[in-house]
Homo-oligomer: A and B are copies of this chain.
Amino acid sequence: MTDGRTRRREDTRQRLFVAAVDLIAEQGFSATTVDHIAARAGVAKGTVYYNFESKTVLFEELLRHGVGLLTAEFRAAVDGLPPLEALGALVRAQLEYIRRYRAFAQLLLSEMWRTNREWQQTLRLLRGEAIAVIADTVQAGVDSGDLPADLDVRTASSALFGVGLVVAVDWLVFSPERPIDEVQESLLGIVRRVART
């Protein structure tokens, strides 16, 4: 399974992902050239096309990879916890993720609300999967009475997702000198206050 060949190939794909995520976070998808990605990854241009069908497919697989990781961490975070604690765990998991993969978070923030791009459908789907985990938790909170019964679950969930993203990335981009734990505290405080009613 993991002989030298597949290991090597997997390594190349990983290097291409890392190069692509950094460049696309900085400049956006269209402004990032395949030549530049290849150079940053230290491979020839042909290698990009040997490993990925096209620039768009590379990006789509990158999105799947990155958001998939986030969704998995969400699932692991809430596992077995009662609603209110689970909500806090989600905020913590999201910020932990953003701290670890800041370039990907930045990229996500920039590309999430675009329309009319080829990969829009893919991203929408992935976003849905991640938010579903949040929504399940919020729903459980409403059912258990820990959250207000009139809370609009779908809206609250997507708002929570978006707010965490924007606050954390804003902090990283405009006040990188501050420790991100402060954002976490602040966000947790807000979520708790809102939940308390």
Interface residues of A (CB under 8 A from B): 25-31, 106, 109-111, 113-117, 124, 152, 154-155, 158-159, 162-163, 165-167, 169-171, 173-175, 178, 182, 186, 189-190, 193-194, 197
Contacts and interface: CB of A to CB of B under 8 A. Distances in A.
Each complex incorporates copies of this chain amounting to 2
Closest 5 CB pairs of A and B: A30-B30, A26-B116, A30-B31, A166-B166, A162-B166
Nearest to A172: B113
A28 B114 contact: yes
The secondary-structure label for the interface of chain A is helix
A129 to B, nearest CB: 14
Contact of A166 (B165, B178, B190): B165
A195 B131 CA distance: 27
A111 to B, nearest CB: 7
A113 B28 contact: no
A167 B182 CA distance: 22
A166 B155 CA distance: 12
A170 B162 contact: yes
Q: Which interface residue of A110, A116, A167, A174 has the most chain B CB atoms within 10 A?
A: A174
A18 to B, nearest CB: 17
Given A27-B114, A111-B110, A155 B173 contact: no
Given A152-B186, A163-B163, 20 more contacts: A25-B115, A26-B115, A26-B117, A27-B114, A28-B30, A28-B117, A30-B30, A30-B31, A106-B113, A109-B113, A110-B114, A113-B170, A113-B173, A152-B182, A155-B171, A155-B175, A155-B178, A159-B186, A190-B194, A193-B193
